[in-house]
């Protein structure tokens, strides 16, 4: 283990102490108004990006930006070039930047891209694409590969499958989580009416089994070990099934992250475990804000996870 990873592990443990945790999450849910809840966040470790007076959407994005900032901090302490593991974990933010770029090409207003810095995989070249067609060409020449189309749905779901595949290849201890991410991505695609074929289907089957059909992937087939993302959701409506899948996936991430973060010796996997827990905490905080914004609608899921 390099001295750089030891330093990153020490810094990671410090960041973990800044998470909200179950008690503060429940207190956040009990805030009288969304403005009050956001004001609490503005005075917390999320306050670098979360500010009073933000809308729900603005606050949610700011919460995510905080996770990315913590990732960049750890990358600064870690090995040169930010280490493959941390760059891969930041892949979700690069995908979201790509999605926003496609939305901008379609004439929609979007927020400024997430600042990836040294954690960027291919964003510096992708960011200057002038059209959806040019973006697809640049994706094809990058580590993301050709998404098989330039529409938002195809790009969104194919890149998430590519990301899961890369995580499984380079961080084999995260393969169970990556496999469940595939099931979740396919469920989202099915709910959105996006058909998966060609490369996207090959990627899905690569992690979940070559004999699986789209229907089996959507209902969680092949994801029995460990912590299936969609287990038990087959008999519910598509939107409810997707919600169950998302909650189960985040719960699985928390369990895996907790196991690695609890390691007694500093290591790369320990740092990765902390990053997973930082992401889970951010997810719970976002859900708590949504509960407050909905005037107390169904907090049971968050409480169960806490």
Q: What is the pLDDT of residue 35?
A: 96
As a whole-number percent, the residues of the chain with pLDDT over 70 amount to 83
Helices 268-293 and 3-16, interaxial angle, to 10°? 20
Q: Which residues contact 142 (CB under 8 A, 6 or more apart)?
A: 121, 122, 125, 126
* pLDDT tens-place string over residues 237-250: 456 667 777 888 99
The model's pTM is 0.86
Q: Report pLDDT digits (tens) over 118-166.
A: 899 999 999 999 999 999 999 999 999 999 899 998 898 899 999 999 9
* Confidence grade of residue 187 (pLDDT, cut at 50, 70, 90): confident
State the chain's mean pLDDT as an integer: 84
Lowest mean pLDDT segment, chosen from 81-85, 148-152, 214-218: 214-218
Confidence of residue 78 (pLDDT cuts 50, 70, 90): confident
In a 13 Å sphere around the CA of 91, the CA atoms on its Cβ side amount to 19
- Predicted local confidence at residue 253, as pLDDT: 95
């Amino acid at each position: 283990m390099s001295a750089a990873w030891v330093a990153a592990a020490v810094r990671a443990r410090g960041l973990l102490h800044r998470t909200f945790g179950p008690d503060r999450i429940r207190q956040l849910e009990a805030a009288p108004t969304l403005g009050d809840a956001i004001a609490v966040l503005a005075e917390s470790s999320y306050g670098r990006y979360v500010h009073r007076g933000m809308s729900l959407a603005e606050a949610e994005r700011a919460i995510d930006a905080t996770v990315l900032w913590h990732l960049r901090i750890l990358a600064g302490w870690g090995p040169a070039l930010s280490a493959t593991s941390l760059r891969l974990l930041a892949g979700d933010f690069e995908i979201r930047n790509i999605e926003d770029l496609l939305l901008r090409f379609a004439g929609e207003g979007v927020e400024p891209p997430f600042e990836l810095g040294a954690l960027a995989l291919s964003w510096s070249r992708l960011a200057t694409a002038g059209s959806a067609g040019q973006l697809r060409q640049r994706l094809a020449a990058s580590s993301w590969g050709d998404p098989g189309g330039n529409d938002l749905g195809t790009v969104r779901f194919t890149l998430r499958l590519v990301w899961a595949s890369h995580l499984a290849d380079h961080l084999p201890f995260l393969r169970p989580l990556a496999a469940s991410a595939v099931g979740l991505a396919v469920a989202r695609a099915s709910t959105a009416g996006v058909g998966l074929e060609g490369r996207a289907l090959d990627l899905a089957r690569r992690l979940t089994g070559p004999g699986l059909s789209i229907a089996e992937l959507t209902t969680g087939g092949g994801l029995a070990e460990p912590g299936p993302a969609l287990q038990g959701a087959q008999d519910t409506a598509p939107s409810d099934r997707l919600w169950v899948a998302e909650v189960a996936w985040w719960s699985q991430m928390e369990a895996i992250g907790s196991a690695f973060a609890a390691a007694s010796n500093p290591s790369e996997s320990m740092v990765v475990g902390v990053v997973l827990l930082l992401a889970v905490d951010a997810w719970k905080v976002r859900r708590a804000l949504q509960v407050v914004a909905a005037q107390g609608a169904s907090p049971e899921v968050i409480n169960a996870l806490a």
